[in-house]
Amino acid sequence: MITVEYRDVEDMFNQAKLLVGMMAGEPVAPVTTITQVSAAPTTASTPPAAGLAPILTPVANPAEPEPEVKSYTVEEVRAALSALSKAGKKAEVKAILESVGVAKLSDVQPEDYAAVMQKAGAV
């Protein structure tokens, strides 16, 4: 991220003219003054320093990818629920199945396998 601060509106317009000139292929004088700016993030709600125009920075990143949800097979779900049953947790297995709206494993929809496995892992 690059943050730019301007002394005033005129300074901002002058910089914009330089950028437009650069895009048009006009020669540009090299920058001779660089001012160190604080690395602290600035938001639109932060009041500007005296004599400086407010700086607007984006608040959210554009569409971040959602984390992948592991897909499970019916065999993996069956093995996990079987292990719970053998450990004496038949009531918990029944509650897990009822939480996805079914009474038996064969009725669980593939899109519910991840939820079942998550609940089984929490038991």
Instruction: Indicate if 54 and 103 belong to the same structural domain.
Output: no
d(CA 9, CA 77): 63
Residue 69 belongs to a domain: no
Q: pLDDT > 70: what percent of the chain?
A: 68
The answer to whether the pTM exceeds 0.85 is: no
Residue 11 belongs to a domain: yes
d(CA 30, CA 75): 67
Instruction: Indicate if 49 and 80 belong to the same structural domain.
Output: no
pLDDT at 98 over 70: yes
Residue 102 belongs to a domain: yes
The predicted pLDDT at position 82 comes to 94
Residue 65 belongs to a domain: no
The predicted pLDDT at position 54 comes to 58
Residue 64 belongs to a domain: no
Instruction: Indicate if 43 and 86 belong to the same structural domain.
Output: no
Structurally, how many domains does the chain consist of? 2
